Amino acid sequence: MRILLVEDDELVADAVIRGLSSAGFTVDLAGSAEQARTAVAVEHFDLAVVDIGLPGADGLTWLARLRTAGNAMPVLVLTARYALQEKIRAFDLGADDFLMKPFEQAELAARCRALIRRAGLVPSGALKLGRLQIDLLGHQLQIDGVAVELTKREWLVLESLAHNVGRVVTKERLLQAVAGSEQDLTANAVETHLSRLRAKLGDAAVIRTVRGLGYRLDEIPGRSP
């Protein structure tokens, strides 16, 4: 499951990314409302975690614009200040949850899981793509009903592609998903994990290389009984 973190404080962002990544989420970081607006326009996210105190337009302004545009993605608002009126305003603008800093990473992860379940985006945590059955919550893959073992990074590649089935995912986006908080991984690592994932998928799905752009997962219809 993929989360957009909108946070300009590097220390806070790093801690949140580490905590949510260890809980099994893929996290993209935007340092401003403008960066978040661009990210939402071109990518799919299951949830946004948004700090109120951002440079330029604040988090609540971004939230208001998101809802005005008709985007119903769940949003969890973060703030370092507790003010009842600010909390009420956040909910009135369309926030789904509200959490004060400092907070425990385990609580943040639990709230994120609850919001995604509540939104019904992945009611059972399952995706069915042709012959693939993907359990997003249990991190399990089955092909034609047979379990397939994936490494953590192979899983992250598959999850990113599956959320965008039929659409191109850039190598940079896959690298970000695989690396998480580890900044020493190279683009070659993506190729390695893609190659291993392709081998495990066999003829059940196709990961196409779109030259100069990235990669696309194309599902193959299930076998006839």
d(CA 21, CA 23) in angstroms, rounded, equals 5
Sign of the C-alpha dihedral computed for residues 137, 5, 66 and 91 taken in this order: positive
pLDDT of residue 44: 81
Q: 34 or 185: which carries more pLDDT confidence?
A: 34
pLDDT of residue 120: 62
The pair phi, psi for residue 150, each rounded to 5°, is: -125, 150
Cite the DSSP H helix spans in the chain: 10-22, 33-42, 59-68, 84-93, 105-119, 152-162, 171-179, 187-201
d(CA 55, CA 58) in angstroms, rounded, equals 7
Q: What are the pLDDT digits (tens) for 116-151? A: 877 765 545 677 888 898 887 678 899 999 999 999
d(CA 43, CA 89) in angstroms, rounded, equals 27
The pair phi, psi for residue 172, each rounded to 5°, is: -65, -40
Terminal Cα distance for the chain, rounded: 32
Q: What are the pLDDT digits (tens) for 24-69? A: 888 999 999 999 999 998 888 889 999 999 999 999 999 999 999 8
Listing from the earlier edge strand, what are the strands of the sheet with 140-143?
Answer: 126-129, 132-135, 140-143, 146-148
The Cα angle at residue 107 between residues 89 and 116, in degrees rounded to 5: 70
Amino acid at 183: Q
d(CA 77, CA 87) in angstroms, rounded, equals 9
pLDDT at 157 over 70: yes
How much of the chain exceeds pLDDT 70, in percent? 91
Residue with structure tokens 């990210």?
Answer: 39
